[in-house]
A and B are shown apart, each in its own frame.
Chain A
């Protein structure tokens, strides 16, 4: 089973498609969660996902706005798609019938 950050990363990479690389994925995650995503968390999670066979990464072409440095490109594998689907289904099943609204007393309504 994926962790939530792993799922966020896979979702961002899947959404970006051929444009998925470190900085772009980070931006996607920050936009989606509204929280800061550290490079350390991003790269170590990428390594872990690659070791599990959920993504493949390779070095892309260097670009001038990156100071001539290459991008680490990311692609979600079929195994990664399967795992992300399983995670999504588990979350939607677990969330069925639950309404996340906070009562004035502080508890769930």
Chain B
């Protein structure tokens, strides 16, 4: 039991460090409390040393907080939009009046869905590659920043990370864990049933959460999986990703302008919007530009060494 506890705690250390330290503890023959104090002291020192560099701070503030909040708002807007349209169509058989045509509504939601996948992937990649062993803190903050839906997913994400570290059916295991975590959302959604007219709508909400998960957290986790293995993307992938992110951000900004125009017309000029949406799309796009700059720097280095 004691050895098991020490072994679990020691997983916070690098593998080589872990074995040497556990060996030293075994050799010294000290009691469990002294051993735990020693091990915890070393883990705390190692974690504190990680935060002496700028990378985990950039991951924490730039992605965990800034991009995390924006991604969560975009994901919330997307699922909210789909839910509103679905409910109105189901109840009244008409398109929910957003001030734009149904085709424009569909185009905007499709653009957001594609954008969420790409933005989340790049955010996950950069978050993991910048954080290193401080990832558990940055991921916790990322989940806290997206509190509206995903805090309950943190244990599942931790499990998924353990799986990816051990390389045991990594992505498949992560995927199953995350989908299983939806089970935890069922009681909450069931309580919400009182606020909604039909059970069908409750299940629709749950379905949208699953969709949200696949568009938002799963790509982020996939990105993190790759980010844990390589800090820099090959330049051609970085350029393709950068181009996709730029195109989607421009498209989303342009399409959100339709709503701004419609609302301005509806309010007879009293309402002016749009800039906030642009800022949001910029905030979720910066990780892609970080990847691009890093890949370019790496290429320059390689050219110099040749």
Chain A interface residues (CB < 8 Å from chain B): 21-23, 26-27, 38-41, 43-44, 47, 59, 62-63, 65-67, 69-72
Contacts and interface: CB of A to CB of B under 8 A. Distances in A.
B45 interface: yes
Interface string B39-57: 1011011100100000000
Interface stretch (B24-32, B87-95, B214-222): B24-32
B2 to A, nearest CB: 12
Q: Which DSSP category, helix, strand, loop or mixed, fits chain A's interface?
A: helix
Contacts of A69: 19-20, 22-23, 26
B28 A23 contact: yes
Contacts of A70: 19-20, 23
Contacts of B41: 38-41
Interface range, B side: 20 to 34
B38 A66 contact: no
A5 to B, nearest CB: 13
B23 A44 contact: no
Contacts of B46: 44
Nearest to A65: B27
B16 interface: yes
B293 interface: no
B304 to A, nearest CB: 25
Contacts of A39: 21, 24-25, 38-39, 41-42
Contacts of B28: 23, 26-27
